Structure 1
Amino acid sequence: MSALPASVLEAKLKLGIIQTSLDPFAAWAASSAIPKISQCEEERAITEIRAHFAAFHQEKPPPDIIVLPELAVPTGFEGKLKTMAAKMESVVIAGFDYRADVQPGHVHNDALMIVPKRWRGKTIGAKTIARRIGKTYPAPAEKAKLDAIPCSFVEDPAVWLIDGGAIGTFGVMVCYDFLDLERITMYRGRVQHLFILALNQDATSFRHVAEAVARMVFCNVIICNCGYFGGSLAVSPYRLPEHRTIYNHAGAKLATSQIIELPVGDLSLHQSKSPTNDDGKTFKSLPPGYTFSVELFEHSAKIEK
């Protein structure tokens, strides 16, 4: 659970979701030694990101966290995005374009978590810092495209657990890693939020997985997908079906941004089975094995001899 007691967590996390409209079929030039966003798509991406941040600047107080999709931000824009995060006083978690490895012909697919020196109204550090959160598993289509260049994907086996203080503990995954059952199990009972940065054509399947993970890990699940395919959403394990989908943006080739609020304090109290004001009527029951587990034994049998 969060490093802070559930009783002192904030009621809500204020989240900004930016869904850019980068065209994945036109963005990466096959002739490059390593994949790199084309000049045209890079300029469009930067224009959209600036516009969405400008819109968020009108919000007082600003979002606690802002998320952008997988591979959405050109590598050359890193310094400017850090400046924008510092000016906004928001943590930014963004998918960046492929990063060249020290070994020629090898690339990383990273998210960058930017933490400004001032956040949520107070100074938390001497300067703005950034941490890379790498992708472990390339999607089959992604691997095939990289192999065709040819270029090798560098796997990052780390699983990040991030203490957000009063807004809860959260994990960050890059697209295909969301389907890794071992990773999902590691987050169970330890987070209030899971952020997935995606560039995923099958948005429907990810929506179904998000709904299942929200119930089994028992946390808020947020998918920020590329706007070319759409399907960004946020779900929470509320008891009433009409409350579970907090945000859902469907439709292809659309750039959009939205600020939403996610439950934190009451969710954490429910996770810890502490008393709540509504006697457990807000959220679903905790899943089996969440608070205690029974040792299971494997049995095998044959129908026929």
Structure 2
Amino acid sequence: MLNSVSGLMDEPAPISPWLSGFLSTLLQWPGIEFKANDAAPVAAVRTPGELLALLEKRIAVQRALYGERSKTPIYVLPTGDNVPLVDRPLRVAIVQTLLPKMEDFDIKDPTHWTPAMLSQHRRHLAEVCRLAHAKLRAWASARPRQEGESEAPAVDVILFPELAVHPEHVFFLRRLSDKLQANIFAGLTFMHSDKCGGPINQGLWLIRTDAPDHGRSIQYVWQGKLHPMKLERQMGIKGYRPHVTLVELPIGTTSPTRLAAAICYDATDLDLVADLRDRSDVFLVAALNQDVQTFDNMVAALHFHMYQPVVLANSGEFGGSTAQVPLPKHDRLVAHIHGSNQVAVSVFELDPAPFKSTKPARVPKQLKAAPAGYKGRLF
């Protein structure tokens, strides 16, 4: 009776609401009620042929999303089924942590942490989450509140750097998500993978779903890193990216907003970003990179070639966290945190809707022309 990811898998994986609804409908136990979604038509199936047609329709949807160049399955996870769209900008927060630093990692055993170091990281993350909440409260206090809007600060997505959170400390992110009603993407410290036979570098999505009838739920989804950097290869880190998740938010003018994320060096994978150009609306990058200038140039290039906002959170040890959108001149740079060895929280709004189509947008700002070959998103 439990057909969600926690009931079907032994690790955080992108089990879509469609698949959960499909199984729940076929296996519905008398007296059990669940929320219907796009898989609801399976309840009317009466023959194997009708069931096959429904499955083939879903396969066609997944085939259109599949990343042909990067050979990567792509899954869409909506944060709300049948939720009306809200026509407003996307609210984003970059949280730039200072720990762990590069020197904190044990090259011979990158998954090992002493109790003292782990305790220090836990204290630092707790304080940074407290700072993020205070910064969001200050930011929200300066904005005119809309009718019916809660006084509590709210943000749509929070981005942490690569390798910023130990898996044992994820509960701090869960608390922050509850306080700010936010989805979160954060890089986790190295962990051992039985599938790869060694340590891997992964990020974690905390995808928040608020349903009036069923309350709040948080789904965990891992996002792997396929291309380790030179130092990671020396540590024995294995490349592992079995899939890419698109988090779909009910924000936009005519269609929802889809967020994609990559970990540091994977953002330089041109096959991946070429696949995501027509599938995502905002590209998030969790980084821990000391070559700030190169990554600044990368974001400057990607936001135009992908024709969507690009947001990068780097470790506070090196700084350079930034957000850029395909607008001309000074409007292009939405946020940039300069300087090294800094803890910082940057909060801003950006609107990905004008870049979904090649049609002239009804916005007061002039947009950059779309890159060659761009015909708009697939949805």
What TM-score do the two structures reach when normalised by structure 1? 0.81
For residue 244 of structure 2, the aligned residue among 134, 137, 159 is 159
Question: Please, which of 177, 181, 197 is the counterpart of residue 270 of structure 2?
Answer: 181
Question: How many residue pairs end up in the alignment?
Answer: 277
Q: Tell me the distance in 2 between the aligned counterparts of 1:281 and 1:30.
A: 49
Amino acid in structure 2 at the alignment position of 1:21 = L
> Is residue 26 of structure 1 aligned with residue 89 of structure 2?
no
Partners of 1:207 and 1:200 in 2: CA distance:
11
- The percentage of counterpart residues that share the same residue type is 23
Q: Distance in 1 between matches of 2:206 and 2:110?
A: 28
Which letter maps to 2:249? G
Deviates more, 1:244-253 or 1:39-48: 39-48
Structure 2, unaligned stretches of length 5 or more?
A: 1-64, 66-75, 141-151
- Which amino acid in structure 2 is aligned with residue 156 of structure 1? R
1:138 corresponds, among 202, 211, 228, to 228
- Which residue of structure 2 aligns with residue 253 of structure 1? 341
Q: C-alpha distance in 2, partners of 1:275/1:33? A: 50
1:211 lines up with 2:211 in the alignment: no
* Structure 2 Cα separation of the partners of residues 84 and 9 of structure 1: 23
Contact 1:19–1:256 (Cα < 8 Å) also in 2: yes
CA RMSD, 1 decimal: 2.8
Counterparts of 1:24-173 in structure 2 under 5 Å?
A: 24-30=101-107, 32=109, 34-36=111-113, 38-39=117-118, 41-56=120-135, 58=137, 59=140, 60-102=152-194, 106-118=198-210, 127-144=217-234, 146-147=235-236, 152-166=237-251, 168-173=257-262
1: distance between equivalents of 2:307 and 2:269? 17
Aligned residue number for residue 13 of structure 1: 90
| Bigger RCO of structures 1 and 2 (CA < 8 A, at least 6 apart) | 1
Residues 160/221 of structure 1: CA separation in 2 closer, same or farther (3 Å cut): same
What is the match of residue 366 of structure 2? 282
Quick one: distance in 1 between partners of 2:97 and 2:297?
22
Structure 1, unaligned runs of 5 or more:
293-305
Q: CA deviation at 1:29?
A: 3.1
- Show CA shifts across 1:194-216 (max 9, x none): 00000011011011111111111
Give 2:351's aligned amino acid: P
1:128 counterpart SS class: strand
Q: Is the 8 A contact 1:45 1:73 kept in 2?
A: no
- Do 2:100 and 2:121's aligned partners in 1 also have CA atoms closer than 8 Å? no
- In 2, Cα distance between the equivalents of 1:230 and 1:82? 25
Residues in 1 aligned to 2:214 and 2:180: alpha-carbon distance in whole angstroms = 14
